[in-house]
Amino acid sequence: MKKRNKEEVLSGQRIKIAALLTGISLLLLSGCGNKAQEAEGSQVQTDIAVTATEQTAAAEEQAETTDPETLDYAYRLHITINPEFRLYLDEQSKVVAVTCLNQDAEDLFSETDLTGMDVEKAMPVIIQQAVAKEYLADGKNITIDLEKSTESGQADTVEQVIAAAVTAELKEQGVDAALELQDAGTPVAIEGADTGAGDTVSDQTDNTGNADNSDKAGNVTESGANNAVPENDAGNGSATNVSQKTKCSACDGTGICQECKGGTAPCKRCGGSLWETCGTCGGSGRQTCPGCGGSGVDATSGTSCRHCGGSGGNTCQQCGGSGGKSCSICHGKGVISDDCILCHGDKKCTVCGGSGEL
């Protein structure tokens, strides 16, 4: 009896030990499973972060390489001062992109971003930068050619805003420069603004069929034998159909381009000298030593400046001491000819086409 009870006790202990071992195994397996899940979740989060970073980088790269011509813009301004560039505007006349067309334009916008700026505020900034960098001065021209990408009725308003902003800023800067505003290559006159040689004389007809020879300012244009040419009606010889031609006000009847004077006007950059003066040293070939500020003395030791040897100046790094370079505008011609911003070498007045009449 006692022997049987001992065996039963041992059997019960074995069952308890087996159950305990089973519980421990389950706990261990559960822990490993949680760790595996945590590791898997962490890897998924890492993959998502990497993918997001790659997508962002790709989007930024695509934005940098986007062709402005593919953007949804309403107006495109082709502006020539000496820097040549394009501004793209939306329907609200805000700048959506800027494209530089030469190195001077790259220099002009090296520290300026016009994106998102209203054109009325952007134009004064451009004028200020052009004056500060000596691209714009007395006697120079600013040509702005506006083209519409859609049939927008606001083009005239945009032209007026641009002309007013440019004219006001030129006056503020004290620069006597002429503004030439064009509509898809055709010069237009802006009321209340000095647009230079591009002003055109309007040829209007009133309700009675009589020609009203008056310009934008309301001034009457004198007409004479050379200005009015009647064309008689072939049916009865009467002068009921009258077509009048007036002397072209843009070229004063000469028929030649007033920007380049028929290809004889001196180059505006070099004045016909064929030499472009260095803007850094002013043609001297020397610039102030940055080490001593031009004093020639080392501020620390009181001895001669080791950078300039006590002279206070160094060879100009921009021109290498030459004082300038061959003119990059006329390329040795000395005159405005094929690089004329108005006629591009045609030498004829772009308003009357060389006829001298409108």
- Domain definitions of the chain by residue range: 70-197, 202-247
Question: How high is the pLDDT of residue 37?
Answer: 53
Q: What tokens does 317 get?
A: 């790094």
User: Using 50, 70 and 90 to split pLDDT, how confident is the model at 215?
Assistant: very low
Nearest to 201 by CA among 231, 173, 223: 223
Mean pLDDT of 228-256: 62
Q: At what angle do helices 155-173 and 119-132 cross, to 10 degrees?
A: 30
Question: How high is the pLDDT of residue 263?
Answer: 83
Question: How high is the pLDDT of residue 86?
Answer: 92
d(CA 162, CA 179): 10
Nearest to 76 by CA among 61, 96, 59: 96
Whether the pLDDT of residue 227 is over 50: the answer is no
Say if CB 246 and CB 338 are below 8 A apart.
no
Question: How high is the pLDDT of residue 191?
Answer: 59
Q: Percent of the chain scored above 90 by pLDDT?
A: 11
Question: How high is the pLDDT of residue 230?
Answer: 42
Whether the pLDDT of residue 211 is over 90: the answer is no
Question: How high is the pLDDT of residue 7?
Answer: 62
| Between 207 and 340, the higher pLDDT residue | 340
Question: How high is the pLDDT of residue 192?
Answer: 53
Whether the pLDDT of residue 217 is over 90: the answer is no
Whether the pLDDT of residue 353 is over 50: the answer is yes
Mean pLDDT of 150-167: 77
Q: Phi and psi at residue 62, in whole multiples of 5°? A: -65, -40
Q: What tokens does 121 get?
A: 């505020």
Q: Which CATH architecture has domain 70-197?
A: 3-Layer(aba) Sandwich (3.40)
Question: How high is the pLDDT of residue 125?
Answer: 93
User: Using 50, 70 and 90 to split pLDDT, how confident is the model at 144?
Assistant: very high
Mean pLDDT of 281-304: 86
Whether the pLDDT of residue 224 is over 70: the answer is no
Whether the pLDDT of residue 204 is over 50: the answer is no
| Between 284 and 237, the higher pLDDT residue | 284
Output the average pLDDT for the chain.
74
d(CA 146, CA 183): 5
Of the listed ranges 68-82, 106-120, 165-179, 225-239, the one predicted with least confidence = 225-239
Q: What tokens does 145 get?
A: 């050619």
Whether the pLDDT of residue 331 is over 80: the answer is no
Question: How high is the pLDDT of residue 80?
Answer: 94
| Between 149 and 13, the higher pLDDT residue | 149
* Long-range contact set of residues 171-177: C-beta below 8 Å, sequence gap at least 24: 172/124, 173/127, 173/128, 173/131, 175/127, 175/131, 175/136, 175/137, 175/138, 176/138, 176/139, 177/136, 177/137, 177/138, 177/139, 177/140, 177/141, 177/142
d(CA 88, CA 76): 5
Nearest to 126 by CA among 89, 173, 182: 173
Buried b or exposed e, range 113-150, using 16+ CB within 10 angstroms: ebeebebeebbbbbbebbbebebbeeebbbbbbbebee
Question: How high is the pLDDT of residue 184?
Answer: 80
User: Using 50, 70 and 90 to split pLDDT, how confident is the model at 310?
Assistant: confident
Tell me the CA distances in angstroms from 150 to 75, 153, 163, 266, 299, one per residue in order: 8, 9, 21, 39, 64
Whether the pLDDT of residue 307 is over 80: the answer is yes
What's the chain's length in residues?
A: 358
pLDDT, tens digit (0-9, with 9 covering 90-100), for 9-58: 566 667 777 777 777 766 665 555 555 555 555 565 555 555 556 655 55
pLDDT, tens digit (0-9, with 9 covering 90-100), for 81-117: 989 999 998 888 899 899 999 999 999 998 889 988 9
| Between 185 and 169, the higher pLDDT residue | 169
Mean pLDDT of 207-221: 41
* Residues 6+ positions from 128 with CB-CB distance below 8 Å: 169, 173
Question: How high is the pLDDT of residue 275?
Answer: 84
Question: How high is the pLDDT of residue 40?
Answer: 57
* Residues 6+ positions from 277 with CB-CB distance below 8 Å: 283, 323, 324
Whether the pLDDT of residue 169 is over 50: the answer is yes
